[in-house]
Amino acid sequence: MKTSQSFGVHFTIKKEKAKDGVTNVYVSVTVNKERIHFALKHYVKVDNWDKGRGGLKIKVPEAKETNAYLEQVKFTITTYYQQLQIAGKEVTPQLLKSMFLGEEIEETYSLSKLMDYHYETAAAALTWSTLKHYAVTRRYLEKFLKEKRHTTDIRINDIDYKFIIDFETYLRNHKPKDHQRPMNNNGVMKHLIRLRKMTTLALKLTWLSRDPFKNYKFRYKKVETAFLNQKELNSIQGKDFAVDRLNIVRDLFVFSCYTGLSYVDLMNLKESNITAGEDGAQWIKLFRQKSNEPTNIPILPVAQQMLERYLRSGRAEITGTLFPNLSNQKVNSYLKEIGFMNGIKKVLTFGVARHTFATTVTLSNNVPIETVSKMMGHTKIATTQIYARVLLKKIGDDMSVLREKLEPGPKRPTSHK
């Protein structure tokens, strides 16, 4: 990734450092408004210096030799600059000075180099979908640098608190040119979290000397978890569509509602993941792709019927999976159609299906939260408690039962003697 830069080489003298009217010539190198001065081992008389030309006055006897030397210095530094540009490396005044003087060069690290390194080292450990999110964050960073900083890269040491705030502001004000909606607060925070993971990696590698996020506070807004109630779930479950693709996506969605499987785990589900449990019934046993946590789920009757239907169909034989593989983008598009045709205003996603399993299918039917947490593959029960807090209907039902228990019985008539 090349960097767009302004560049200049100029010469000057410092009269205050002159001895007996003689001083060094100083070279000034500027890259992107960053400047460095250093002295050359070449001396001139102060009175012979032409400030406007940046060299000796033409009429001075030694002017030809000195000015030719200065031109050679400028040519050498410019050549180093061009070589670094062609190689796609970051150019700094300090680096050019070190190259010219033959000093040991301390390698500088850029944001693009850091993200390249992260991709190379994390590719084996992270899922494709997670890596894709990092790629999206990287594209936003490149757009930000191009539009606001007029460059496509930045040194890691130049990432400071102001950079973070400026990037946050850019994300909040960004208006997509396609069909996408503007980014919400939590979406902005996710991009900043990925940037923080990059700077944390740089700190561990000692590529960065201080934490730019030290004084930054992430601000999340609580989002009400969407899920289907039993009536909405029954509506989708019992709906037959004239288009086969919608029926397939309906089955996938309903299967997720009764198992809690995420989209990616559902697409990866194989016959080997279906095993007999200690209770004699069939179970789904796998490791969640997102967290690599073990998940064991007893298969409920509705889900069992779908499994048998697709096992017989052979539609997924090519991929070796139980269900046909469809792209996430197509599935989400078809789910919008299904929701609209069922009169459901909620935006249907596999996240909604997963939440429906946690709430309507399990917690609402008195399955203990610890059991639900295990089936969902949560590492912390606090994650599952988010679903329990939104079950207002269940609270109402429980209180109705309590109310009946506490209702006083019929009063006995008072006997009069």
> For residue range 141-163, what is the model confidence (pLDDT) as tens digits?
999 999 998 888 888 888 999 99
33 token code pair = 């408004």
What pLDDT does 394 receive?
Answer: 60
C-alpha dist (Å) from residue 122 to 28, 47, 119, 208, 284? 42, 62, 5, 19, 29
What pLDDT does 392 receive?
Answer: 59
Long-range Cβ contact pairs of 15-24 (< 8 A, separation 24 or more)? 15/46, 18/46, 21/45, 21/46, 21/47, 22/46
Weakly modelled stretches of the chain, pLDDT under 70: 1-5, 88, 104-107, 178-180, 223-225, 312-318, 388-398, 409-417
H helix count then E strand count, the chain = 15, 8
Rounded to whole angstroms, the Cα distance separating 113 from 345 reads 45
pTM given for the model? 0.57
